[in-house]
Every structure is written in C-alpha cells, then in structure tokens.
C-alpha cells in the first residue's frame, strides 16, 4: 500500500498529501546479518589459555604479539616463562642450590632474570623455584656452616634443630641437594661424610617435613656411603662406622616411606644383595651385609644365611694364606675380619629374634657348628624359666638343645 504523509517530499496528490514507497525489511535476515556495532554483553567470566608449553598463544584474550615483541625489543619475539632448572642456574643462585654460605642465600631473593637466546630470538624469563625469606636464608646458612666446619657442639645443636624444627619445609629441596652433592664431593673424608649422613637422618626424623619428593636425591648418596669401594684415603680409617651409620639412615628412610613407595624397600634390598656378590670388594660386601642385617631377621634368613657358610670358609682360607709382609697384607686381613664380624652380627640378629623351633628349621646345625664352632654361643638368645626370650648372651645349654653340643669341647 501507498504511504501517505504530510510534507514527506514525495509525490503530491491532488489533495495536497505527499506519497512515497517504503522498502520491506525481513527481520529474520536482519537478525542473521552481522551488525556493525555489537551490543554490550553481560558481565561474566571466561576461560582461556595464558600459555601453552611456556608460549603465549595468540588469542584475543592475551596481549597482541606486537606488544610482546616491543617488550623484548624485537619484532616477532616471544616470551617464554619456565621454572629454573638445575642446569640453568646462574652463578648468583648456584650457592644456595648447592648449599653454601650467605651469598647463595642472598641470591634466592632474586625473583626474575631474563636472558635472550640469539638463534631463535626467544626471551626466557626464569623463575626461581623458591623465594626464601630472610629468616630461612639465615637458618640455611647457619646450618650448612655448622655442618661443614663447625665444632662438635655446634654440629650437634644444628642437627637437633633440623630434626625437630617446624616451618622449614621450603628448605627441604636445598638441604636434600646439599646432602647429596656434598657427600659425592667429600667421598674420602670420613668425618665430613658422617656429619652429612647425620644431617640426612635428622631430615628423615623430623615429623614436620615431607621428604617424599626428594628421596631420589638423598638415597643414592646414602647407598654410596654404604657400599662404595673406598670411603677413606687412609687404609685404617674408621669408614666401617660410616657404613653402619649410613645403613641405619637408609633403613630408616625405607621404613618411613615404604608404605608410600611400595617398591622402595625392594629396590634398596636388591642393591645391597648385589653388593654381597663374591666378585665385589670386601668393603662393599661388608656394607651389603650391614645394611641387610638392619632390615631384620627375615631379610637375614632370605639373603645372608644361604651365603654364610661358603663366605666364612672362603675368608678363613684367605686368612690362613695371607701373610704379614707389608701394610697391604695387614689391611687385607683387617678387611676380612671386619666382614666376619658383620656376618656374625647378622647371624646374631637372626638367632636372637626367632624361636628355637624356627632356628632348627632354618639352620643346619651340624654344618654351622663345623664352620663357626663356639662363635655361635654368644649369638644365641637365652630364655627365662617361663620360656620367654631375653636379650642376654646365649649359653651352651640352649645351643645343645639345637644339636650344637659338638661345638662345646
């Protein structure tokens, strides 16, 4: 129909009314067409990727790449954010990660450092894994200095503090790395390694710390102190005590985290069994026996008893053939005697913690008496009048009940 309006500028009708044609608009097409101006949206939240594999994606929600390129001073540049790795540490933060002095502790307060890789033009903004407070920096410095060069009283106070203090969880990765690296660097210095082993023991003993994610750093160092071929540059140095102390700390870690990591104890026992191989040095065999015996009588029964008779006979023959000509002969004899002592200690752990019936089932009395003789008497547990086992040394009567009468001459 014609549209009539007054003064519309169209055709003038005889009646003085203007007329013009009106174009029809399809509302459905209008809604589907792109509008030149978008209507405002309601306030809400949306999700988008800030970074993918450390690289900022080019999405509308993120700043344009031209702006980020201008920030790094070059066209087409990208900013990659990643946590600082072990091998990427600069010299300023190396001492805190290695576990040294005040300079290392102060460097931990540096938050962000930026470097540019020239081949790809990618700028890397490195973030330190921990931002330590000044109190924690000072605490770490004092503990490491006391461990490295403190007096015995200072070391005892530092270890006691580590074993019971709460609120030092942020220092766990630094202490773990300090222990592992220092032990590997100080192999040959028995006293220093023993102090570092005690520091590891204090960390494991602290109920307020969670060491599960850092065991992979400390356990290899502890195993090294147990089964390494040589832990001292001096032949008659007391590295045997260091092996026993490291073995106790290793077993404590297995008992503390064995439920959380079910394969931990089995892997440690396998390593110690490999150390008892006949082709290994005597010092390594000693560490293997010392470590396995601390796991209890069942471990001794499974892994040490089958080898006890053969090893003892071999060591006795070596002692008979070994001379007294030089210091090497004396060292060899001393090593054999230490291995014999470790084997007798393992047998004592088994015999004092199982009943007479279990001993009779597991031990071949005649064979063990012929090989060990009267050395088995102090290892046998005693029983009171009510049949309860006591911790005292064994007597000949208890050994005779097992068929050991032939060893009483």
Chain centre distance of CA 33: 63
Residue 54 has pLDDT above 80, yes or no: no
Of 309, 273, 279, 277, which is closest to residue 291 (Cα–Cα)? 273
Per residue in 100-110, pLDDT (tens digit) is 343 333 333 33
CB-based contacts of 98: which residues, under 8 Å, 6+ apart?
104, 177, 178, 181
- SS3 for 242? helix
Q: What pLDDT band is residue 382 in, cutting at 50, 70 and 90?
A: low
Tens digits of per-residue pLDDT, 181-225?
A: 999 888 888 899 999 999 999 999 999 998 988 898 899 999 999
Tokens matching residue 137: 């920096």
CB 208 within 8 A of CB 257: no
The partner residues of 81 in beta bridges, in order of sequence, read 125
DSSP string of 7-27? T-SSEEPTTS-EEE------H
Note the pLDDT of residue 14: 53
Q: How far is the C-alpha of 387 from the C-alpha of 75, rounded, in Å?
A: 88
| pLDDT > 70? residue 165 | yes
What pLDDT is attached to residue 164? 93
Over range 146-156, report the average pLDDT. 92
Torsion (CA) 367, 372, 373, 376 in degrees, nearest 10 = -110
Residue with the larger pLDDT of the pair 250 and 347: 250
Identify which of 243, 238, 241 has the alpha carbon closest to the alpha carbon of residue 226: 243
The whole-number pLDDT of residue 115 equals 42
Q: How far apart are CA 395 and CA 401, in angstroms?
A: 10
- The rounded mean pLDDT for the chain is 74
What are the C-alpha distances in Å from 342 to residues 58, 153, 253, 286?
67, 31, 22, 6
- Dihedral sign from CA coordinates of 103, 107, 108, 109: positive
Rounded CA-CA distance 283/291 in Å is 12
Of 311, 313, 332, residue with least CA distance to 323 = 332
pLDDT, one tens digit per residue, over 263-294 is 999 999 999 999 999 899 999 999 999 999 99
Model confidence at 49: pLDDT above 90:
no
Q: What are phi and psi of 204, to 5 degrees?
A: -70, -35
Please, are residues 143 and 161 in contact by the beta-carbon 8 Å criterion?
yes
Q: Is 314 exposed, middle or buried (0-12, 13-18, 19+ CB in 10 A)?
A: middle
**DSSP code for 36:** S
**Res. 179: pLDDT tops 90:** yes
């Amino acid at each position: 129909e014609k549209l009539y309006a007054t003064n519309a500028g169209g055709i003038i009708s005889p009646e003085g009314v203007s007329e013009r044609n009106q174009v029809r608009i399809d509302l459905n097409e209008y809604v589907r067409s792109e509008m030149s101006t978008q209507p405002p949206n309601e306030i809400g939240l949306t999700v988008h990727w800030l970074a993918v594999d450390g690289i900022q994606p080019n999405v509308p929600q993120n700043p344009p790449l031209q702006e980020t390129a201008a920030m790094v001073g070059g066209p087409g540049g990208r900013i990659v954010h990643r946590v600082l790795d072990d091998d990427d540490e600069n010299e300023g933060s190396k001492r805190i990660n290695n576990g040294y002095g005040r300079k290392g502790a102060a460097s931990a307060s540096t938050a962000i450092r930026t470097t540019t890789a020239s081949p790809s033009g990618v700028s890397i903004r490195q973030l330190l894994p921990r931002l330590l407070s000044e109190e924690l920096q000072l605490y770490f410095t004092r503990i490491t200095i006391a461990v490295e060069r403190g007096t015995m009283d200072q070391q005892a106070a530092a270890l006691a503090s580590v074993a019971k203090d709460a609120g030092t969880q942020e220092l766990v990765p630094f202490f773990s790395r300090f222990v592992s690296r220092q032990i590997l660097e100080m192999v040959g210095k028995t006293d220093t390694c023993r102090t570092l082993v005690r520091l590891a023991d204090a960390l494991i003993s602290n109920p307020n710390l969670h060491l599960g994610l850092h065991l992979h750093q400390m356990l290899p160092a502890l195993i090294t102190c147990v089964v390494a071929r040589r832990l001292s540059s001096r032949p008659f140095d007391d590295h045997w005590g260091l092996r026993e102390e490291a073995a106790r700390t290793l077993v404590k870690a297995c008992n503390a985290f064995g439920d959380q990591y079910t394969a931990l104890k089995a892997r440690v026992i396998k390593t110690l069994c490999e150390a008892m191989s006949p082709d290994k040095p005597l010092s390594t065999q000693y560490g293997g026996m010392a470590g396995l015996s601390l796991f209890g009588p069942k471990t001794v029964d499974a892994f040490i008893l089958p080898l006890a008779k053969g090893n003892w006979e071999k060591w006795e023959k070596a002692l008979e053939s070994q001379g007294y000509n030089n210091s090497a002969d004396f060292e060899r004899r001393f090593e054999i005697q230490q291995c014999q002592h470790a084997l007798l200690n393992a047998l004592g752990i088994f015999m004092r913690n199982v009943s007479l019936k279990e001993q009779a089932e597991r031990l071949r009395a005649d064979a063990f008496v012929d090989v060990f003789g009267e050395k088995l008497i102090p290892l046998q547990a005693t029983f009171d009048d009510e049949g309860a086992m006591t911790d005292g040394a064994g007597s000949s009567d208890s050994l005779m009940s097992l068929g050991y009468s032939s060893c009483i001459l």
